A and B are shown apart, each in its own frame.
Chain A
Amino acid sequence: MSSGMLTEVSRRIGEADLATLFSEQRRRSIVAWLVLVPTIAVLLLYRTIPLLWTVLLSFQEMSWTGETSFAGLQNYQRLLTDDVFVTALVNNVLFLLTIPVGIALALGIALLLNQQFVGSDGFRSLFFVPYILMMVGIAVIWNYIFKTSGGVANHVLLQLGLIESNISWLGDGTWAKVSVFVVHIWKSIGLYLVIILAGLQTIPQQVYEVARIDGANRRQRFRYITLPLLKPTMGVCILVGMILSFKLFDLIRVLTGGGPADATEILITYLYRQAFTNGNFGYAAVLTVVLFLLMLSLIAVGRFVQRESYR
């Protein structure tokens, strides 16, 4: 075998390797794209394209029949003179307060359940139940509880001597906001609770032991160990709270219908009404753009908080 032949053979082997390597890589790429196509298609159809379409629609007028005409900035100008829009925007931000309040309550319950007494797991499940119920059902339940006369909420509060006379829960703007607040927290507490409990489980017990030997009292242990180590968990809770706030559509639509007199309207319920009740698709698209920007900035803030919490 001459050296020329040897080089020839080795060259061929190399080529063959390269060829199989290439075909293998290509095959893998083809497979990867194939398995990802359905996912990409669904997301394009129901997330990406709708988002771009919303932007387009916000510069258009659209009739019920689907005919569109260019409207320029008219829809955007309408925002400036729309009082309900301002109410909805303010409410959107206001209802975000359910997040810190819900987390604080859940943290209290979590610290209690973390003491591992008989049945603490059962209690955890109990608090979790409202989270798995349909929001529409929850709204129906509380709708009757909040009735002014014959509602059990007023009855109980009267019996306990906490109120003098019946509160008009769903008939008064402020009380209606309170009602939405209460119900939303009631639903979300369970989720915060299980996340915080999972976070508490990750704190090593030795840290507490050492602190106890060093003479740290209960409050100090909470202040200097539990809270700092729970920071990432809190970040997750805040993010989850943002996602949960989308559930407000179902709740408000069924419990208050956005009323009384638009007092509990939020952007999502208001834009739904503008589009599907009044047929103002262009203006509803503008409201969607505003909502989207609001959500995006909130999620950015949430992510930032979460990232900072890891430092």
Chain B
Amino acid sequence: MSRDNEVLNRRDIGLLRERVSFWRAADRTELLTRTGYFLLAAIMGVAFVFPLYWLVKISVMWPSANLYGGVPTLGIENPSLANFSKVLFEVDFLTFLFNTAFIAVTVVGANLILNSLAAYGLTLDFRGRRLVQGFLVANMMIPAQTVIIPAFLVSQRLGLLNNRFGVVLPLAIIIINIFVLYTSFDAVPESMIESARLDGASELYIIFGIYWPLSKAALAANVILAFVFAWNTYIWPLLILNEQELMTLTQALASFQGNNQGRYGLMYAFTLMAVVPMVVLFLLLQKQFIESAVMGSIKE
């Protein structure tokens, strides 16, 4: 019996040993491949992000990097904020920042309200619904950029030249956003809306009190897409605004770049300050940003 036990034990131990070493080997290869993937991604990521590193590096260099003085070294030594203060006090940065923020916030508000109204309209069963849908899809096929000349003429006739609202209005409706919202509204059970109507809820309450709380993802997509469009837009301010005190960051950046070719540090600091708000927002809301991008790209 004891011998039997011994034999059994031996066999068991052998099996166990085999198993353990098998797992170890698997773990090892697993770990190695994962590390390999990580390294590969890291190499690609570093190459990819290098221009942004360079942007930061040149911005914090002082004495300011001179374009004609050869290439600066890779590392960052004695960082200084001198370039940024130059941008603040020489370039009227705060005015451009205010103009951009004003336009962006207004565009986001307009999109939220107008797109919600339109999406609500699409959920209603009325004569001409198909017509409206067709109209929206047809207009989606007209890229805004291809109609800039007459759009400029329209703004001129409306007296919106050199007026911030002249930039807001063309961006106030993002058609894809309407469909994203409509899809979300449409997923709310009809019975819920009907019973609210029977209880005497107003149309506005149905939109903002019932649909809105149930469409958080779609609303986030709306806000983010509208904000990114408005913050980064260049062609609209270029068409509509030409007084310096109304200029947006994109406009100012583009025109200053033409006049300050040699001032490498200044231009980089200006660029960095113009993109930082968006980057910070992105870092805070990475998931929503990426979801919105995917949502906005998939139109059924």
Interface residues of A (CB under 8 A from B): 25, 28-29, 31-33, 35-36, 38-40, 42-43, 45-51, 53-54, 57, 66, 109, 112-113, 115, 117-120, 123-137, 139-145, 147, 149-152, 155, 186, 189, 191, 194-195, 198, 236, 239-240, 243, 246, 249-250, 253-254, 268, 271-272, 275-276, 281, 284-285, 288, 291-292, 295-296, 299
Give chain B residues whose Cβ lies under 8 Å from the Cβ of A126: 45, 48-49
> In the complex the two chains form, is A128's CB within 8 Å of B290's CB?
yes
Contacting residue for B71 out of A129, A150, A250, CB 8 A: A150
Answer yes or no: B147 CB below 8 A from chain A CBs.
Answer: yes
- Chain B contact residues: helix, strand, loop or mixed: helix
Given contacts A46-B169, A150-B69, A152-B71, contact A137 B117 (CB under 8 A): no
> In the complex the two chains form, is B135's CB within 8 Å of A50's CB?
no
A-B pair count, CB < 8 Å, reads 254
> In the complex the two chains form, is A140's CB within 8 Å of B147's CB?
no
Give chain B residues whose Cβ lies under 8 Å from the Cβ of A54: 146-147, 149-150
Give chain B residues whose Cβ lies under 8 Å from the Cβ of A281: 149
> In the complex the two chains form, is B149's CB within 8 Å of A39's CB?
no
How many Å lie between the Cα of A39 and that of B172 in the bound state? 9
Give chain A residues whose Cβ lies under 8 Å from the Cβ of B264: 144
A184–chain B nearest beta-carbon distance, Å: 13
> In the complex the two chains form, is A137's CB within 8 Å of B274's CB?
yes
Given contacts A40-B135, A141-B268, A143-B257, contact A50 B147 (CB under 8 A): yes
How many Å lie between the Cα of A263 and that of B199 in the bound state? 66
> In the complex the two chains form, is B67's CB within 8 Å of A194's CB?
no
How many Å lie between the Cα of A137 and that of B253 in the bound state? 7
> In the complex the two chains form, is A296's CB within 8 Å of B141's CB?
yes
Give chain A residues whose Cβ lies under 8 Å from the Cβ of B70: 150
> In the complex the two chains form, is B150's CB within 8 Å of A57's CB?
yes
User: By CB atoms of chain B within 10 A, which of A50, A118, A135 has the most?
Assistant: A50
> In the complex the two chains form, is A125's CB within 8 Å of B147's CB?
no
> In the complex the two chains form, is B249's CB within 8 Å of A198's CB?
no
> In the complex the two chains form, is A127's CB within 8 Å of B124's CB?
no
> In the complex the two chains form, is B146's CB within 8 Å of A132's CB?
no
User: By CB atoms of chain A within 10 A, which of B42, B117, B149, B169 has the most?
Assistant: B149
Give chain A residues whose Cβ lies under 8 Å from the Cβ of B55: 141
Given contacts A117-B34, A134-B278, contact A47 B142 (CB under 8 A): yes
Enumerate the 7 nearest inter-chain pairs by beta-carbon distance, A residue then B residue, closest first. A50-B150, A50-B147, A53-B150, A35-B117, A134-B232, A39-B118, A155-B71
> In the complex the two chains form, is A47's CB within 8 Å of B129's CB?
no
How many Å lie between the Cα of A270 and that of B234 in the bound state? 16
Residues facing A in B129-175 (CB within 8 A) are 129, 132, 135-136, 139, 141-151, 153-154, 156, 158, 169-170, 172-173, 175
> In the complex the two chains form, is A28's CB within 8 Å of B124's CB?
yes
Contacting residue for B297 out of A119, A152, A191, A276, CB 8 A: A191
Give chain A residues whose Cβ lies under 8 Å from the Cβ of B180: none
> In the complex the two chains form, is B144's CB within 8 Å of A46's CB?
yes
Q: A42-B169, A112-B44 are in contact. List 19 more A-B contacts (CB 8 A).
A: A32-B121, A39-B118, A50-B151, A54-B149, A125-B283, A126-B49, A128-B286, A129-B279, A133-B275, A134-B253, A135-B234, A139-B254, A144-B58, A145-B51, A195-B294, A250-B235, A285-B149, A288-B148, A292-B146
B98–chain A nearest beta-carbon distance, Å: 16
How many Å lie between the Cα of A209 and that of B4 in the bound state? 41
Given contacts A53-B153, A134-B249, contact A140 B271 (CB under 8 A): yes
Interface residues of B (CB under 8 A from A): 33-35, 37-38, 40-42, 44-45, 48-49, 51-52, 54-55, 58, 67-71, 114-115, 117-118, 120-122, 124-129, 132, 135-136, 139, 141-151, 153-154, 156, 158, 169-170, 172-173, 175, 178, 203, 228, 231-232, 234-235, 239, 249-250, 253-254, 257, 264, 267-268, 270-271, 274-275, 278-279, 282-283, 286, 289-290, 293-294, 297-298
> In the complex the two chains form, is A271's CB within 8 Å of B149's CB?
yes
User: By CB atoms of chain A within 10 A, which of B117, B126, B146, B173 has the most?
Assistant: B146
Give chain A residues whose Cβ lies under 8 Å from the Cβ of B115: 39
Given contacts A198-B294, A246-B143, contact A128 B71 (CB under 8 A): no
Q: Can you report 27 A-B residue pairs in the complex whose CB atoms are below 8 A from each other?
A: A32-B121, A32-B126, A32-B129, A35-B118, A36-B118, A38-B114, A38-B173, A39-B117, A42-B172, A43-B173, A49-B150, A50-B151, A54-B146, A54-B149, A117-B34, A120-B41, A129-B49, A133-B279, A135-B234, A136-B234, A137-B253, A141-B51, A194-B290, A253-B254, A254-B234, A291-B146, A295-B146
